[in-house]
């Protein structure tokens, strides 16, 4: 049996420390936590930065390093710094180094880096080793060269190589959410389908329970089944909460694609063995004919400036969509004249906050809000042009009338200046898989000895 303790769905989201202590009392064989995601879009990969506060990350990592030192089992952190670039791995190693010195402990840290050089990926594309995934954008050599950052998502083989170094802590670049949890059970006698399914269930910590914000989950992997239990006293795992997690961030609730194959849960069984604990069996692993890893690549597709104005006059609230359409037409015409730009060089995107800013034309609910926020997003080839267009639009956001024969209205800006430069607009350029002959080929493994007892 292999016990894996998952403190939370991601480093930086916080977790219940009493539940963590309970988990340590269960004598786990491994502590695993994810460090990243693309949930918040391409910006963080584009910049190679973390979406989580450094102070929060440092505080949680300190708690987990203390837990690792107490339990004397490996601690694995994947997708370091949200995006998993080499720079993000180095950032997290630096924090771990400082913590080791403050605690006066020695650490053996294995790092696995996953950043890819555009030239390497371009050669792979030319050699037809890139497989376009569903809805992948069209790519070219130029598009690949223009990527700001490219990472490959590792699976279990790379994590296992790091564990085999005897490291206290593994800090990995971009990885699938399940890899850190499935790696150790697969080194033992757990069936592959069970290892991957248990990892999928536990990837987001207590999200598979009735108390999703409590964080800590323990998964016990046996040969032919696994059992999942939340560690907060008020949390429960039920067959419903556990089975439904296959729907989370997954297009197919019965199939999960991973490096080297896919998980098939069509015949999986979920059984409540206690009010808190669920047993999972029957899951299968289907080996792929060739080994591939997913690539994420991000480039800059423009620069943005935003403006927000507030409508409270009921006449304008009821006719907000018409007002925006009229204003947009007027601005497009005057911008082309004043700036000598063609429509391909800039765009104006309006969102009616409080009306339909999320779904747009798909919105079916009719409400009567007290006010509507009109968000205008200007996108242009350069930041200066985006700023100038937003300034050009400024007076019309305050006083543009609904029709030519009515008095000028007065709206309001919530802050001054009204224009907020957002900087580069990052876009996912790659949604492809890279075929490799050796799972370690795109990754770099290194072992670092940290002597925290000396400076």
Residues 228 and 349 reside in one and the same domain: no
Residues 338 and 441 reside in one and the same domain: no
Residues 180 and 217 reside in one and the same domain: yes
Cα dihedral 184, 188, 194, 199, rounded to 10, equals -10
pLDDT digits (tens, 9 = 90+) for 248-287: 888 899 999 999 999 999 999 999 999 999 999 999 999 9
pLDDT digits (tens, 9 = 90+) for 391-405: 999 999 999 999 988
Query: Which residues have C-beta within 8 Å of that of residue 110, sequence separation ≥ 6?
Result: 162, 163, 165, 167, 169, 170, 171, 445, 446, 447, 448
User: Taking 70 as the threshold, does the pLDDT of residue 142 lie above it?
Assistant: yes
**What is the structure's pLDDT at 35?**
95
Residues 237 and 325 reside in one and the same domain: no
Is 417 within a domain? yes
Is 48 within a domain? yes
CA distance 143 to 140: 5
Residues 45 and 102 reside in one and the same domain: yes
Residues 339 and 446 reside in one and the same domain: no
Residues 390 and 445 reside in one and the same domain: no
User: Taking 80 as the threshold, does the pLDDT of residue 454 lie above it?
Assistant: no
CA distance 185 to 172: 18
The structural domain count of the chain equals: 2
CA distance 23 to 15: 12
Residues 425 and 442 reside in one and the same domain: no
* pTM score of the predicted model: 0.94
Give 37: exposed, middle or buried? Use CB within 10 Å, 0-12, 13-18, 19+: middle
Parent domain of 12? 2-114+153-291+436-451
CATH code at 395? 3.30.70.600
Is 8 within a domain? yes
Beta pairing partners, 450: 107
SS3 content of the chain, % helix, strand, coil (to 5): 35, 30, 35
Task: Give the mean pLDDT of 448-453.
Answer: 90
Beta pairing partners, 380: 303, 346
Residues 272 and 364 reside in one and the same domain: no
CA distance 419 to 417: 6
Compute φ and ψ for 111, nearest 5 degrees: -110, 145
Residues 316 and 377 reside in one and the same domain: yes
Give 437: exposed, middle or buried? Use CB within 10 Å, 0-12, 13-18, 19+: exposed
Residue identified by tokens 């999972």 is 280
Q: Which residue has the higher pLDDT, 39 or 175?
A: 175
**What is the structure's pLDDT at 213?**
85
Residues 369 and 445 reside in one and the same domain: no
Is 181 within a domain? yes
Query: Which residues have C-beta within 8 Å of that of residue 349, sequence separation ≥ 6?
Result: 376, 377, 379
Is 10 within a domain? yes
Residues 440 and 387 reside in one and the same domain: no
Is 94 within a domain? yes
Is 316 within a domain? yes
Confidence of residue 360 (pLDDT cuts 50, 70, 90): confident
The C-alpha R_g of the chain, in whole angstroms, comes to 25
* High-pLDDT (> 70) share of the chain, %: 100
Q: What average pLDDT is seen over the chain?
A: 95
pLDDT digits (tens, 9 = 90+) for 420-436: 999 999 999 999 999 99
| CB 346 within 8 Å of CB 334 | no
Is 142 within a domain? no
């Amino acid at each position: 049996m292999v016990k894996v303790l998952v403190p939370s769905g991601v480093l930086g989201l916080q977790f219940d420390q009493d539940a963590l202590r309970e988990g340590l009392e269960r004598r786990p064989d491994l502590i695993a936590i994810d460090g990243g995601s693309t949930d918040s879009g391409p910006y963080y990969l584009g910049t190679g930065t973390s979406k989580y506060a450094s102070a929060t990350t440092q505080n949680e990592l300190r708690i987990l390093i203390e837990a690792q030192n107490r339990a004397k089992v490996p601690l694995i952190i994947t997708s370091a710094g949200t995006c998993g670039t080499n720079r993000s791995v180095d950032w997290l190693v630096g924090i771990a180094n400082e913590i080791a010195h403050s605690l006066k402990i020695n650490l053996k840290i294995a790092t696995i880096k996953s950043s890819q050089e555009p030239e390497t990926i371009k050669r792979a594309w030319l050699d037809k080793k890139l497989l376009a995934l569903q809805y992948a954008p069209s790519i070219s050599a130029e598009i690949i060269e223009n990527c700001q950052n490219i990472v490959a998502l590792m699976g279990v083989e790379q994590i296992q190589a790091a564990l085999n170094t005897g490291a206290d802590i593994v800090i990995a670049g971009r990885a699938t959410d399940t890899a850190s949890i499935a790696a150790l059970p697969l080194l033992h006698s757990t069936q592959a389908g069970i290892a991957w399914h248990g990892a999928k269930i536990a990837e987001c910590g207590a999200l598979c329970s009735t108390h999703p914000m409590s964080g800590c989950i323990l998964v016990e992997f046996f040969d032919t089944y696994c059992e999942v239990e939340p560690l907060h006293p008020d949390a429960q795992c039920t067959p419903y909460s556990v089975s439904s997690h296959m729907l989370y961030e997954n297009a197919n609730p019965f199939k999960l694609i991973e490096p080297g194959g896919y998980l098939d849960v069509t015949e999986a069984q979920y059984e409540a063995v206690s009010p808190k604990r669920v047993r999972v069996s029957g899951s299968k692993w289907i080996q792929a004919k060739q080994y591939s890893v997913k690539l994420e690549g991000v480039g800059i597709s423009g620069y943005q400036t935003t403006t927000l104005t507030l409508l409270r006059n009921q006449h304008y609230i009821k006719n907000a969509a018409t007002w925006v359409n009229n204003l947009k037409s007027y601005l497009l015409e005057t911008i082309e004249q004043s700036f000598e730009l063609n429509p391909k060089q800039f765009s104006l995107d309006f969102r009616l906050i409080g009306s339909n800013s999320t779904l747009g034309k798909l919105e079916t609910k009719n409400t009567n809000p007290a006010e509507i926020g009109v968000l205008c997003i200007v996108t242009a080839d350069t930041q200066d042009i985006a700023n100038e267009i937003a300034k050009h639009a400024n007076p019309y956001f305050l006083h543009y009338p609904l029709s030519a024969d009515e008095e000028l209205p007065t709206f309001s800006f919530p802050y001054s200046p009204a224009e907020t430069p957002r900087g580069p607009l990052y876009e996912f350029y790659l949604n492809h898989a890279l075929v490799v002959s050796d799972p370690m080929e795109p990754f770099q493994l290194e072992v670092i000895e940290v002597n925290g007892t000396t400076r």
